[in-house]
Structure 1
Amino acid sequence: MYGDPALEEGFVSLPYANPDAPKGGSMATAEVGSFTSLNPFVDTGRSPWQLPYLMGESLMGRSLDEPFSLYGLLAESIETGPNREWVEFTLNPAAAFSDGSPVTVEDVIWSFETLGTMGHGRYRGFWAKVEKIEQTGDRSVRLTFNTEDRELALLAGLRPILQKSQFEGVDFVEEAPDMIPVTSSPYVITDYELGRFIEFTRNPDYWGADVPFRKGTNNFDTLRIDFFGDEAPAFEAFKTGEVNFTREFNEARWISQYDFPRAQDGSVKKDELQHQRPSGMTGFVMNTRSAPFDDWHVRDAMIDIFNFEFINETMTGGTQPRITSYYSNSPLGMSNGPAEGRVLEFLEPYAGDLLPGAIEGYELPVSDGSERNRAGTGAALAALEEAGYTIQDGVMKNEAGEPLEFEILLQTGASEFQSIADMFIQSLDRLGIKATVDAVDSAQYKERTDNFDFDMTYYRRGLSLSPGNEQFGYYGSEYADTVGSRNLMGVKSEAVDAMINQMLTSESQSDFVAAVKAMDRALTAGRYVIPTYQWNISRIAYDANLHYPEDIPIFGDWPGWQPDVWWYED
């Protein structure tokens, strides 16, 4: 994106991969939830989140040590116009699908067109910015863009390439849920039961084994993902060895429940890994499309009532720091105090669109840690009064006498957030506010969140050090009312839209960083989410015969690292 990539021509492997890693063995992981489809490239059905990473081989691949650098994968060379107005890829002559047929320019063009018009929503936004795609040689294809956006050349390199012939005479969107897309990836799905498990087998004839980007990666013979209805049986499966890798997100369990026999005799190892990624945003998101959360004063009151310090002590022993903004824990996060310099320059034209605190400075409330949270309660009452709510006969009501009530939508099995919600509801009850939890299965949860049928729900948005066009999908006004959009809160902000555009057109890294910091301010002061705690480390536990290289990329435990660079060795 800016400057030159860190690795020079002729590099042996990615710096965090072991090019001499042995092949063999297996890795098995547990997921809470279910799935109804094996095709991650369409909106229909629910496919496991891992599938795009395990199946979606692309023209280029991302280095987890460089936020904005890609290296050749299906493409052996890449050219761009002087202003990134076009990008041209030349295919590696060895590139082949898992059935042995070659990857052709025709497959590339068909994949871009089909995903861009009928594929998952994550692909369609990019396609709208493509003026034309054309073959320019036996193995080369060029995309010309219709808008100024320096990231598009990189995004083009990350689109998955599918086999055109597989879908001839088949409805790409409505094909059978068990139809497995043919790709050129190192692994193929060899066994599955919808909703229960998926097993992948390493393709011994994988075409790209000697491509530098792939050296030392994809070392397991088999990968397996097992699905469970709740966290408890998923953890039991790890304790008994049914699965051999897990990520732990519950601090209390990490401290107190990893004393089972396999952990005591050394069969299981525990590691805490640092990373330099943004905290992202985890918490309870409020739907601004309707009352009561269309009023920012009410959202502000919810943040005041939420007694983070007490909840954190109860859930983690007070060990987890709170998320302070969408990009906290990174160089992209907003600074405390008033906006200055380029950040201020970017925000000032939109001062009328911004909520209090975006320019002047905004910080989350801090309680004294007691259960009563008197300061937060007082601040919440003041904010609710601004919104026209007062306590009448012990019930919080507006001027029309309507009580303040809402529902918190959760997915069945989300025991940690159920516990947090219960404590939050107790705090709300003291102010005469009635909140209830509706826990539904994964299918209902997806349907309701896709259609924005909720007042408040669990929210997790992982963010990277290379934010770009995906931010429109997360927070762009254009997607606020699009069914299935990831803009769950319904952000419609000229300032946020403008900051994303600024990110995509900045010609210097300093302006890019300033634009992200400005967007972070606008989102955080927008009071869309009640933040909980952040995970600045990854807690992983795994069988002792699984290994990973000593050099951890700056992205840490992130797609592209596990299972990619791990290996099995007794």
Structure 2
Amino acid sequence: MCVNFFRNRVAKIVVAGAILSAGSLWADPQHGIAMYGDPQLPPDFVSLPYANPDAPTGGRIVTGELGSYDSLNPLILKGSAPWQLRFLVYESLMGRNYDEPFSLYGLLAESIDVGPNREWVEFTLRPEAEFSDGSPVTVEDVMWSYETLGTKGHPRYLGLWGKVESMEKTGDRSVRFTFNEDNPELALIIGMRPILKKAQWEGLDFKNSSLDLVPITSAPYVIGDYEAGRYVELNRNPDYWGKDINFRRGTNNLDTIRLEFFADDTALFEAFKAGIINTIRETNAEKWKTQYDFPAVRNGDIVKSEIAHQRPTGITGFVMNTRRAKFADWHVRDALIHAFNFEYINDTLTGGAQPRITSYYGNSLLGMREGPAEGRVRELLTPFADDLLPGALEGYSLPVSDGSPRNRENLAKAIDLMAEAGWTVQDGVMKNAAGAPFTFEILLEQGQGENIAMAEIFIRALERIGITAQVTMIDPAQYKERTNEFDFDMTNFRRGSSLSPGNEQFLYWGAEGADQKGSRNWMGMKSAAADAMIHALLGAQSRDDFLAAARALDRVLMSGRYMIPVHDKYAVSRIAHVKELTYPKDSLPIYGDYLEFHPDVWWWEGE
């Protein structure tokens, strides 16, 4: 993760230059920590820059969610829990300011201290921090939470625990973590784990928690009424311990947050029009333009808000599982990318209004540049030249069609690429030398109308070159189980990206996760070059080195041809909501509508 290269909102921000390879030069514990330099906000900051410290409290927000849920524990692999619970119901030692690429400020912890090279980090708990049942948050709770999540939690928590050499209580309210590798980012990452109440889990199997166990946590909201698969309601805790600390001032203003679940996006949209839910995100620009004209919008009861941001695009599209032999050959993956007629699909579904994602870090300085790799980027990639796929060094770009339904030129190229992999059209069917036809399954979760529509157009194009594909739609629980087990050929895929990519990149693209069930490396890529570029990101000693490592990694990922990218659904956030729901329009964070923005800093204006 890295310093803010993209915006100088506060004069104090540090960009590049004196990168602190030795970690921190602080003499005393501090109120916050930045990956490089000093955090933007001073110890006596009033509130987060994008929160309204004078926001009123009250009101309710009702959101629509696709699918279902069968668990209230988002911290384990088993079951399917509403993802929002991780952020609304649990707290961590430190909290993130989304107006900086990567800086943390004290939440459950009142201060943070680090070693000269960030080889250790120590947190001191706030004396007033307590759980929703009124019991104090203790060092024992913290230590139990870290060990439990690191050994029994979701796979996303396991990697960090393996980098902890020791964890020790250093005082009545302090705990120290010492690391077993030189990785300055660990001092920040470890401050972001959720803290649980140890006593609640005594005698219980953490891996197998169910709906019967409502977690006791320290967050502003507690779980109230719920019905599996239909809704879950969160209530603001009037006795929340941290309502007066600066990090929380102007946040968590709504009395009630209710998540309503629907089988598909059509039902969800109709529920919004009927007033069952009172806010909705829209990712289709054409639908936003043409279908949000019902009476409540025309009379002003519903407001359409567009929220810009400065974060990278991330990657969205259809991922190919290279663990399957048919997708192990890059020629096959490239052929399917050519067969996917993006221009026609985009025009059909969005009116051509949303541009295609062409980089894992597009819309930012982190994305790869056009043409051949040069300078430091080339230096980083050259040692892996023999293993890199075409385009990594020479320059890579996605194929572009003429926009017509036939897509003749790209389909002809797809046939040639399949032949390179040993597949030819025989009697109208794409077959290998043994006569086996090329078929595959596109696995989708029920209710994803736009993905289904894209897949169906794609399938019709594949039929023209003798390839048979079929869409299989399954419920959310089955979908989670199959993707956790990597039991799919192709499926829809989304990985967001921050302005400060770092250790989490190993979770997404690292070779270690390719064989770890439940990991986020869905494509199953094992690339020594990608791992080396991530290491280069983490070890960057200058702004130029950091940018070069990110751009080099982008080249490895794009030229790897693991994804069929689609349009950028998130270039701007489109939120329709009742007029009583509002947000700080004049102080948007650089991350825009991202984690901990909606509904965290929204409030209710009205009776």
Task: Tell me the CA shift for residue 183 of structure 1.
Answer: 1.0
1:38-67 deviations in Å (ceiling 9; x for gaps): 011111111111111112201111111101
Q: Secondary structure at the match of 1:423?
A: helix
Match of 1:547 in 2: 582
Three-state SS of the structure 2 residue aligned to 1:352 is: coil
1:563 maps to 599
Structure 2 partner of 1:28: 62
Residue 436 in 1 paired to residue 463 in 2?
no
Distance 2:225 2:292 in 1: 31
Contact 1:45–1:177 (8 Å) recurs in 2 = no
Partner of 2:391: 357
How much has 1:266 moved relative to structure 2? 0.6
**Distance in structure 2 (CA, Å) of the matches to 1:160 and 1:200:** 18
Q: Please list, as runs of the form range in 1=range in 2, the aligned pairs for 1:44-443 lying within 5 A after superposition.
A: 44-443=78-477
**Cross-structure match for 1:449:** 483
Q: Which amino acid aligns with 1:322?
A: R
Aligned-residue identity in percent: 63
Deviations 1:190-211 (A, max 9, x none): 1111111110111111111111
Q: Kindly provide the CA deviation profile for residues 496-520 of structure 1, in whole angstroms up to 9, marking residues without a partner as x.
A: 1111122222233332222121111
Tell me the amino acid that sits aligned with residue 558 of structure 2: T
Give the Cα separation in 2 of the matches to 1:233 and 1:385.
44
Which deviates more, 134-143 or 168-177? 168-177
Partner amino acid, structure 2, of 1:460: R
2:26 alignment counterpart: none
Q: For the residues of structure 1 that align with 2:519 and 2:435, how far apart are their CA atoms?
A: 34
CA contact (8 A) 2:73 2:209 kept: no
| Secondary structure of the structure 2 residue equivalent to 1:353 | coil
C-alpha contact (below 8 Å) 2:358/2:397 kept by paired residues: yes
TM-superposed CA distance for 1:473, in Å, is 1.5
Contact 2:79 2:477 (C-alpha < 8 Å) held by counterparts: no
Letter paired with 2:604: Y
How many angstroms does 1:20 deviate by? 0.2
Alpha-carbon separation, structure 2, partners of 1:302 and 1:110: 48
Structure 1 residue 543: Cα displacement: 0.3
Cα distance in 1 between the residues matched to 2:150 and 2:456: 42
> What CA deviation, in whole Å up to 9, does each residue of 1:272-331 have, x standing for no partner?
111111111111111111221111000000011111000000001111100001111112
3-state SS, counterpart of residue 150 of structure 1: coil
Equivalent residue, structure 1, for 2:53: 19
Amino acid at match of 2:181: T
Give a deviation string over 1:429-478, Cα, whole Å, max 9, x none.
11111111111111221111111111111111112112222211111111
Counterpart-to-counterpart distance in 1, 2:478 and 2:171? 48
Distance 1:439 1:190 in 2: 32
Equivalent residues in 2 for 1:479-494 (5 A)? 479-494=513-528
Asked whether the equivalents of residues 406 and 435 of structure 1 are also in contact (C-alpha less than 8 Å), the reply is: yes
Aligned twin of 1:538: 573
| 1:463 counterpart (497, 508, 521) | 497
Specify the SS of the correspondent of 2:378. Answer: helix
Mapped to 2, the partners of 1:164 and 1:509 lie a distance apart of 42
Unaligned ranges ≥5, structure 2: 1-34
Q: Structure 1: which 5+ runs fail to align?
A: none
Question: 1:49 is matched by which residue type in structure 2?
Answer: W
Q: Normalising to structure 1: TM-score of the pair?
A: 0.98
How far apart in 1 are the matches of 2:91 and 2:52? 21
Equivalent AA in structure 2 for residue 330 of structure 1:
S
- Aligned partners of 2:496, 2:187: CA distance in 1, in Å? 23
Whether contact under 8 Å (1:367, 1:373) holds in the other structure is yes
2: CA distance, partners of 1:162 / 1:339: 47
Once residues 160 and 524 of structure 1 are traced to their aligned partners in structure 2, the CA distance between those partners, rounded to angstroms, is 33
Query: Map of 1:502-541 to 2, 5 A cutoff?
Result: 502-534=536-568, 535-541=570-576
Amino acid at match of 2:125: L
Tell me which moved more, 273-282 or 24-33. Answer: 273-282
Aligned AA (1:554): I
Which residue type is aligned with residue 577 of structure 2?
Y
The structural deviation recorded for 1:178 is 2.8
CA contact (8 A) 2:80 2:476 kept: no
User: 1:259, 1:511 → 2: CA distance?
Assistant: 49
Q: Root-mean-square deviation (CA), in Å?
A: 1.1
8 Å Cα contact 1:2-1:509 kept in structure 2: no
Counterpart amino acid of 1:77? S
- How many residues in Structure 1 have an aligned counterpart in Structure 2? 570
SS of equivalent to 1:418: helix
TM-score normalised by L of structure 2: 0.92
**Who is 2:24 aligned against?**
none
Q: Given that residues 251 and 315 in structure 1 are in contact (C-alpha distance below 8 angstroms), is that contact kept between their aligned partners in structure 2?
A: no
Distance in 1 (CA, whole Å) between partners of 2:574 and 2:321 is: 31
Moved over 6 A (4+): none
Q: Name whichever of 294-303 and 388-397 sits farther off.
A: 388-397
1:503-555 Cα distance to aligned partner (Å, 9 max, x none): 22223333222212111110110000100001310111000001100211111
